[in-house]
Amino acid sequence: SQELEQSPQSLIVQEGKNLTINCTSSKTLYGLYWYKQKYGEGLIFLMMLQKGGEEKSHEKITAKLDEKKQQSSLHITASQPSHAGIYLCGADLGTNFGNEKLTFGTGTRLTIIP
Amino acid sequence: EAGVAQSPRYKIIEKRQSVAFWCNPISGHATLYWYQQILGQGPKLLIQFQNNGVVDDSQLPKDRFSAERLKGVDSTLKIQPAKLEDSAVYLCASSRWGTTGELFFGEGSRLTVL
């Protein structure tokens, strides 16, 4: 089974609507990272969460980390066509923080429709 | 700042043939990663280098895959002989020393094995 499970696997949202993507780990999290990938391109780093309860925002994207539940959520407010792509969560699931080895989830494919 | 460069972007080979991918990381980045991303899945770490030393190659199929980073800068990933299940995008990423989780990815090399 996957160490990092993302839900939903795909999401179709009307432009202007809000949405949430979830990432759940089967192991203790030593850091949670969100990336975005457009088709045929590499991954782009969005943000990093390291402490339980931490919340970060970048433009209209907000990510939260619930360390106890080993979960993170990514919330997009007032979605735009530019938000379309694949969102991947990555985590350091090693025994030491700073291992710098990222395990990725399977991704959530986001489509924005007019 | 120039990004991570990868070549070739696309490669089509027949099974049992060999292929090599090249990656030039961002200047000054000590850590280099090769990930394999099969269609519909998240990236899977194949090998991680710190300068020219291997940190983690636990998921590298060593009977057919090899990688090197001789001078601690650019890197080559080779597959010999290729199998059908090796069809995937091979992503190279780099990061600065001590910056967990913020990886800079190249656009990837898409391999199709027929």
Does the structure show a pLDDT above 80 at A51?
no
Residue A33 touches chain B, beta carbons under 8 Å? yes
- Give the HSE-up count for residue A32: Cα atoms under 13 Å, Cβ half-sphere: 33
Tally of domains within chain B = 1
Residue A48, domain CATH? 2.60.40.10
Rounded Cα gap, residues A1 and A26, in angstroms:
9
Residue B39, domain CATH? 2.60.40.10
Residue type (1 letter), A74: L
Nearest CA in chain A to B6: A42
The reported pLDDT for the residue numbered A100 is: 65
The reported pLDDT for the residue numbered B12 is: 98
The reported pLDDT for the residue numbered A77 is: 96
The reported pLDDT for the residue numbered A94 is: 67
Which structural domain, as residue segments, surrounds residue A25? 4-113
Q: Do B31 and A100 touch (CB under 8 A)?
A: yes
Mean pLDDT (chain B, rounded): 93
Section A78-107 average pLDDT: 83
| Distance from the A34 Cα atom to the nearest Cα atom in chain B, whole angstroms | 9
- Please write the tens of the pLDDT for every residue from A1-17: 678 999 999 999 999 99
The reported pLDDT for the residue numbered A96 is: 53
- Please write the tens of the pLDDT for every residue from B44-84: 999 999 988 998 899 999 999 999 998 889 999 999 999 99
Q: Do B100 and A41 touch (CB under 8 A)?
A: no
Cβ contacts (< 8 Å) between A46 and chain B: which residues? Answer: none
- Please write the tens of the pLDDT for every residue from A62-74: 999 988 888 999 9
The reported pLDDT for the residue numbered B100 is: 67
The reported pLDDT for the residue numbered B10 is: 97
Which structural domain, as residue segments, surrounds residue B50? 5-113
Percent of chain A clearing pLDDT 70 (strictly above):
93
Please state the three-class secondary structure of chain B as a single string. CCCCEEECCEEEECCCCCEEEEEECCCCCCEEEEEEECCCCCCEEEEEEECCEEEECCCCCCCCEEEECCCCCCEEEEECCCCHHHCEEEEEEEECCCCCCCCEECCCEEEEEC
The reported pLDDT for the residue numbered B92 is: 97
